[in-house]
Amino acid sequence: MKVVHMGNLANDAYPVVEGLRKRGVDADLYVPFPSHVCALPQWETCDLDASDIADPFNPNLTALNRDFVQPSWLHFIHIRRSGLDLPGRSVNFLRIMRRYDLIVAHVPFALYAQFSRKPYIAFDAGAIRYLDMKPSSYHRIRSWLLKRGYKNAKTILMTNPDTLDLFQAHGFNPVFMPFLIDTSRYRPTVMEDTLPFEYVFFMPSRQIWREKGNDLVVEAFARFCKEYKEALLAMIDWGEDAERTRSLVSKLGIEKSVMWLPLMSKPRVMRWYNLSTAVADQFVLGSYGTTAPEAMACEKPVVIYISEQHHLRTFGEVPPVLNARSTEEILSSLILCTDSSFRRKVGGLSREWVERHHSPEIVVSRHIAAYQGWEKS
């Protein structure tokens, strides 16, 4: 069976296809270019930041490829971003898909896979949340086509527990599929370089308050600083609300305790995980993407809001995170992390969780099980 993964939103396909190949599955990955740099395999493996790649939405390919060895199963589809090229782009996508026995269509490729005359699986990493937004936010025709693509898929793989109710409301019956975390790469590491702070909290999440709750973390940290003076909050300078967050930091008078970092590739993010006392993720949606399990694999406590009921329905257990939703709860979690023995205990449990649910062996096996039988239908 020849399998193709189309798309690589936030690098949700690259480690899976790599793992499939190691298990002997004839799998390829096609990634559109240009894409946002976070959707490119180079961003997962190479040591880069925003200054290296210029425009994140159309990154410098020479810089990206400087230290990147492209595997034979990885292919880039060079596209023009003009809407005038949409018919030709669609034909090209379909031509590629028809070479394979089974398609795994990452967002937005279910739009195209439904017309491929090939069996396909839709892979959703949160797009279902936006299907019913107003047309000005999510184009009506595109939304309708994506719903149709999901309806006609052999199955839907979903990564975010909080979206389970949304799928069921649309009449879909998805299969839960955890993100794959390469625990051989994401692991605890003693850092030679240290920071001149007693406590370092790292929030790599995009600055978008309505989805991440960045403002809640800043407010909680400002209160934390009143008691614990030698503390640092490091955040990534990207996202539509970055300026709002800067203004809030200034208003609260904590500029000297906040460090702004450039958008950076995963090897650099990994170093910050290991430099940190704890990692803050998101406080609105109720699920995590890859930030939380990556940090957990590095044995770091993660402060995050999760919906426990949805995690029980998908994982069968609740992850060992510091579950917080309000400023007060986040503050209490930061204070708990000042205890080194507490951090070691939670960190150890956190890595065990990732090994149990997100390791390559576990996730690749679940993918293979999901593929079996569909290629002949």
Residues 344 and 367 in one domain: no
- With bands split at pLDDT 50, 70 and 90, how would you rate the model's confidence at 96? very high
- Does the residue 24 lie in any domain? yes
3-state secondary structure 196-264: CCCEEEEECCCCCHHHHCHHHHHHHHHHHHHHCCCEEEEEECCCCCHHHHHHHHHHCCCHHHEEEECCE
Terminal Cα-to-Cα distance of the chain (whole angstroms): 12
Please give the Cα distance from 292 to 271 (Å, whole number). Answer: 15
- Does the residue 190 lie in any domain? no
Residues 281 and 155 in one domain: no
CATH classification at residue 172:
3.40.50.2000
Q: Using omega within 30 degrees of 0 as the cis cutoff, is the peptide bond preceding 87 cis?
A: no
Parent domain of 301: 199-357
Higher pLDDT, 82 or 8: 8
pLDDT at residue 293 greater than cutoff 90 = yes
pTM attached to this predicted model: 0.94
Residues 174 and 209 in one domain: no
pLDDT at residue 134 greater than cutoff 90 = no
Percentage, residues of the chain above pLDDT 90: 87
> Contact, 161 vs 176, CB < 8 A?
yes
Please give the pLDDT value at position 366.
97
Higher pLDDT, 193 or 68: 68
Q: What is the mean pLDDT of the chain?
A: 94
Q: Which of 76-90, 191-205, 215-229 has the lowest mean pLDDT?
A: 76-90
- Does the residue 113 lie in any domain? yes
Tens of pLDDT along 31-85? 999 999 999 999 999 999 888 898 999 999 899 999 999 999 999 998 865 454 6
- Does the residue 187 lie in any domain? no
Number of domains in the chain: 2
- Does the residue 188 lie in any domain? no
pLDDT at residue 245 greater than cutoff 90 = yes
Tens of pLDDT along 15-25? 999 999 999 99
